[in-house]
Amino acid sequence: MSPDRSRAEGTAAATPAAVRERLDRVTDPELDTSIVELDYIEDIRITADADADGDAVFVAFTLPTAWCSPAFAWMMAGDARDAVASLPGVAEVTVELREHMHEREINRGINEGLPFGEAFPDADGDVAPVRAELDRKARIARQHDATGALLDAGLTHDQIADLAVEAVRVDEATDGTVPVWLRDGAVAVAVDAEPLVRYREKAAATGLLDDEHPELFRTPEGDPFDGEAFELVRRRTRLAGVNMGGQGTVCDALNDARHADDRPPLSTFSD
């Protein structure tokens, strides 16, 4: 069946599974964990329109508490909207944040394409500096996972500290592993791909791979280090992950309580 005929018969081109897959790429910026994995998604609805260029998608989500940071909620809502809008066959996306003290401002701002400062006139600046700091913390935590995978693969402290960006070719990842090239490209070691791919992604997003230093891994401040400092740097990167893990445990408990069958009724903030 052709896409035009399918749309004319009222069958949506996008699917809930495809929408959820895109949403799985969106993270809670404080926890660096997918909003799908965190069970924030409440509803996905797709409407096919024979007269439109694509489907209309509605996504609703709820955070663990009604007082979660409006900046964090804004980022998640905006990232969710952008992720779903990138799906082929989608012409319109509406995102609805539910049961949040600032849901009215966030829903209006995100769905009308307003800047954060216009949606929150009293806010002290934009969300960009907040996102940059959270991305930096996520990069540090992901480095701990990535260096752990390299240690498991048998690399030494010196080899990991000296590892150049181009030595880890994530575009060549297959069968769950990625080749890490040593001795100027003479020897390749297969390493668990996921932590390295995730680290490279966040390192690139934070601009770490655009400076004059060739080393892939850095101190939390962004400076290269040698093998002698490896253990100290690794302990410091571990702290970032521990902090996120602790926050995640609290958020999980709050989220479970919020969705419990016997919870007390919540007021509707949009009324």
Q: Is residue 266 part of a domain?
A: no
**Is there a single domain that holds both residue 95 and residue 136?**
no
Rounded Cα distance between 138 and 143, Å, is 8
pTM score above 0.75: yes
Is residue 57 within 8 Å of 4, Cβ to Cβ?
no
Q: Is residue 255 part of a domain?
A: no
**Is there a single domain that holds both residue 117 and residue 193?**
no
Mark 141-178 as b/e (b = at least 16 C-beta within 10 Å). bbbbbbbbbbbeeebebebbbbbebebbbeeebeeebb
CATH value at residue 71? 3.30.300.130
**Is there a single domain that holds both residue 156 and residue 114?**
no
Tens digit of each residue's pLDDT, the chain (271 residues): 344 444 444 445 789 999 999 999 999 999 999 999 999 999 999 998 766 678 999 999 999 988 899 999 999 999 999 999 999 999 999 999 999 999 999 999 999 999 999 999 988 888 999 999 999 999 999 999 999 999 999 999 999 999 999 999 888 888 899 999 997 778 999 999 999 999 999 999 999 998 889 999 999 999 999 999 999 999 999 998 877 776 666 776 766 766 666 655 554 444 4
**Is there a single domain that holds both residue 144 and residue 115?**
no
Residue 240's domain comprises 129-250
